[in-house]
Homo-oligomer: A and B are copies of this chain.
Amino acid sequence: MLVIMKPDAAVAEISGVIKAIESMGLRPHPNRGADRTIIGVVEAGGGTDLSFLKKSAGVDQVIPINKAYKMVSREFKPDNTVVNAGGVAIGGDRFVVMAGPCAVETHDQVMSTARAVAEGGGRILRGGAFKPRTSPYSFQGLGEEGLKILLAAKGETGLPIVTEVIAPDLVGLVCEYADILQVGARNMQNYALLEAVGSVRKPVLLKRGMMSTVEELLMAAEYIVSSGNSQVILCERGIRTFERATRNTLDISAVPVIKRNSHLPIIVDPSHAAGYVDIIPSLSLAAVASGADGIIVEVHPSPCDALCDGNQSLSFEQFNGMMDDIRAVATALGRPLAG
């Protein structure tokens, strides 16, 4: 059950609703978002009728959803959410390709990649300035210097930027440069970070944890949306299994499962799922065919020299070849490439 308060509800009105819920033996969970307070109620049985609360002062809506995730569910909002990221619509009637290097290394590297991405048909530029790395002795990214390089590339090509934010206190800084804030797989359940990106006005790309279920991904998205930011793009990037022929196992089924259960856009990251460049085109095509709203892939001017993830980065030539096939499948299914 969700009780959505009006944006101008008074504190006393909110307390009144909380007490009313408690008096019925239920446990309210008020969530103070940027715009308004939303009170979630999760019942074991689920049989209680709280619709009478609609008449209480300060209440906007009472929504009878008893799933663990509510505002991100299709029950809550039957129509697809279309996220606008720097002028590019994600989740609409066009398929969107995001591409770029794993990590921002140099100005030239990013600039040449951005040009190749734009020419090949990509519509968003990806690149990591802050890199969360398993080992403290690995390259950790260029930081703000990297963000400046991305901005320069956007200036020349017009491509909006998606880049990762790895800690709550960096959200403000990254917002100054990025069009989409990426929350990485390892941070999918970093709740302080989810609340931080939930309190800003930038689209968020939320990657599925490599051992998180689809339901947990949706609950992580619920943290962001219930904190006030409804512009969330989900991303399937492979899960951890026993199979060792690929870096992770791309869970392509997550695409139709999420489409059934949520109104949020869902894209696929074939690069991290595969780990090997030769199978990325196949996985990208599978993503288009499965109904995903887009893909995010790693492209590098010289994959062998990459400081990060070189063996899963496409060369410009490989990227172009793949885009031709993506165009054909997207068109055949009535959902052409954006741009």
Contact = CB atoms under 8 A, between A and B. Distances in A.
Q: Of residues A139, A169, A186, A210, which shows the largest number of chain B Cβ atoms within 10 Å of its Cβ?
A: A186
A34 interface: no
A255 interface: yes
B288 A289 contact: yes
Contact of A136 (B166, B226, B253, B257): B226
A137 B70 CA distance: 10
Question: How many copies of this chain does the complex contain?
Answer: 4
Overall SS of chain A's interface: mixed
A97 to B, nearest CB: 15
A130 B214 CA distance: 25
A135 B40 CA distance: 10
Contacts of A286: 252, 286-287, 289-290
B242 A242 contact: yes
A168 B191 CA distance: 12
Given A226-B136, A285-B290, A328-B333, A214 B243 contact: yes
A304 interface: no
Given A29-B138, A138-B42, A332-B328, A260 B289 contact: no
Contacts of A135: 40, 42, 68-69, 219, 222
A211 interface: yes
A253 B257 contact: no
Interface stretch (A5-13, A53-61, A273-281): A273-281
Contacts of A70: 137
Q: Of residues A68, A279, A291, which shows the largest number of chain B Cβ atoms within 10 Å of its Cβ?
A: A279
Interface in A213-235: 213-216, 219, 222-223, 226-227
Interface string A238-272: 01111111100111111111011000000000000
Contacts of A41: 137
Interface string A306-334: 00000000000000000001001101110
A148 interface: no
Nearest to A244: B213
A170 to B, nearest CB: 8
A109 interface: no
Nearest to A137: B40
A38 B83 CA distance: 44
Interface in A112-158: 132-140
Contacts of A42: 135, 137-138
Interface of A: 27, 29, 31, 40-42, 68-70, 132-140, 166-169, 186-187, 189-192, 209-216, 219, 222-223, 226-227, 239-246, 249-257, 259-260, 273-274, 278-279, 282-283, 285-291, 325, 328-329, 331-333
Given A166-B191, A168-B192, 11 more contacts: A70-B137, A133-B191, A134-B219, A167-B191, A210-B211, A249-B251, A249-B253, A257-B279, A286-B289, A288-B289, A332-B332
